[in-house]
Amino acid sequence: MTDENVSRSPRTVAVTAGRPQNDNDPLNASIVMASNFQESGDYARTHGTSTWAALETAVGALEGGQCLSFATGMAAASAILFALHPSVVVLPSVSYLGVRALLGDMQDHGHVRVVSVDIVDTKAVMHSVETAVSEVGADQVVLWIETPTNPTLDEAELEKLCRAANAINVRSVVDSTFASPMGQQPLKFDASVVMHSGTKFIGGHSDLMIGLALTNQPEIFEKLSRARVVQGATPGALEAFLALRGLRTLPLRYEAATKNADEICRRLKAHTSIEWAKNVGPMLSYIVKGGAEAADKVCVSASMIIIATSLGGVETTMERRQKYAGDAHVNPGLIRMSVGIEDIEDIWSDLEQALAS
């Protein structure tokens, strides 16, 4: 991060970071479609491209660390696990089903042992971490934190967990996808690695897949770079360009969507068909009285709000999560909603008529 970016607001940094520096350069990095580079011996998978570098500089400036981009969020997660190479991962029992599936497969292959925890119970989490440390040693343990969690929006005590892990030399990884760099910057709390599915809020328009991993520890950065080279899960040029274009408006989108979500959550809590509702930023989860059938009815009765599994775009989307085998443990009536930037009254009137159905 440059010195100017340290003192500037995230709203400014999102607009200015990663800009080409020379006279006559375009204002934003261009889409470099290249595998091969003349004379230098550079090759895109091993050396990166200026399009990726611009995105990585900008996300790095917002998070306060060095960033690497990957093909998807899952590619970033895979590279992080490959790079840190733990024998035990302490993992939230409620968290993104894809990461749980990856670690479950790794465990089945004998590569890792997974210890599931309730991530909001800091004492119990650290007890599990300490037990693992006593069994295999601190350098073999990774504490994987996802907060807020997908799909129940549980909030971990992020600073306490990162600092407690650090104090006993255990590496912590924070999946910060739901918060985006606007909601939290875990590297400030000495998290070892932060990851994002840039597919979500950073891209922001439901039109790309990309992943990001950040750290401010040079040895970990080297290992992550090596993981990207040898695993080869690099981002596409267009995707990196679009992700940076999306990032430029992340603060505005995140603020507008959060304002909408706060108000919708307030109205849902007062609604007679709703058992529970919570939002953290633009992500909102609510439980409809009447279980799976009632919740499915709400989803299909909405006309503007789209049933869709991804999130973090300008549009409001929702889905009932327990329908997925990987989220079978979630309340059957829970609908996870990613609130967009449409007019609040249009979102509410669509949701209200769907609830009335």
Ligand X SMILES: Cc1ncc(COP(=O)(O)O)c(C=O)c1O
Strand partners, 338: 283, 317
Q: What is the per-residue binding string for ligand X in 69-88, x denoting contact by CB under 6 A?
A: ---xxx--------------
* Distance, CA of 172 to CA of 154 (rounded, Å): 18
Task: Give the other-Cβ count within 10 Å of 315's Cβ.
Answer: 17
Cβ 199 to ligand X shortest distance, Å:
4
Tell me, letter by letter, the H, E, C secondary structure of 185-225.
CHHHHCCCEEEEECCCCCCCCCCCCCEEEEECCHHHHHHHH
Q: Is 334 in the site for ligand X (CB under 6 A)?
A: no
DSSP string, 300-337: HH-SSSEE-S---SSS-EEEEGGGSGGGTTS-TTEEEE
Cβ 178 to ligand X shortest distance, Å:
6
Give the binding range for ligand X (CB under 6 A) out of 40-48, 172-180, 239-247, 255-263: 172-180
Residue type, 243: A
Cβ 295 to ligand X shortest distance, Å:
19
Give the binding range for ligand X (CB under 6 A) out of 102-110, 171-179, 256-264, 293-301: 171-179
Q: Is 18 in the site for ligand X (CB under 6 A)?
A: no
Retrieve residue 34's tokens: 């290249």
Nearer to ligand X, 6 or 101 (CB): 101
Cβ 195 to ligand X shortest distance, Å:
7
Q: What's the residue count for the chain?
A: 357
Nearer to ligand X, 146 or 154 (CB): 146
Q: Is 197 exposed, middle or buried (0-12, 13-18, 19+ CB in 10 A)?
A: buried
Q: Is 285 in the site for ligand X (CB under 6 A)?
A: no
Give the binding range for ligand X (CB under 6 A) out of 52-60, 115-123, 131-139, 173-181: 173-181
Q: Which of 141, 137, 167 is nearest to 84 (CA)?
A: 141
Q: Is 209 in the site for ligand X (CB under 6 A)?
A: yes
Q: Is 327 in the site for ligand X (CB under 6 A)?
A: no
Q: How many CA atoms lie within 13 A of 14 on its CB side?
A: 20
Whether omega before 151 lies within 30 degrees of 0, making that bond cis, reads yes
Residue from 66, 128, 197, 258 binding ligand X (CB under 6 A): 197
Report angle CA 28, 227, 168 to the nearest 5 degrees.
Answer: 105
Cβ 97 to ligand X shortest distance, Å:
8
Nearer to ligand X, 150 or 273 (CB): 150
- Tracing tokens 């085998």 back to the chain, one arrives at 325
Coil vs helix vs strand at 173: strand
Cβ 197 to ligand X shortest distance, Å:
3
Give the binding range for ligand X (CB under 6 A) out of 6-14, 175-183, 222-230, 339-347: 175-183
Q: What is the per-residue binding string for ligand X in 117-156, x denoting contact by CB under 6 A?
A: -----------------------------x---x------
* Distance, CA of 52 to CA of 239 (rounded, Å): 9
Nearer to ligand X, 122 or 310 (CB): 310
Q: How many residues bind ligand X (CB under 6 A)?
A: 15
Site of interaction with ligand X (CB under 6 A): 72-74, 96, 98-99, 146, 150, 175, 177-178, 197, 199, 209, 211
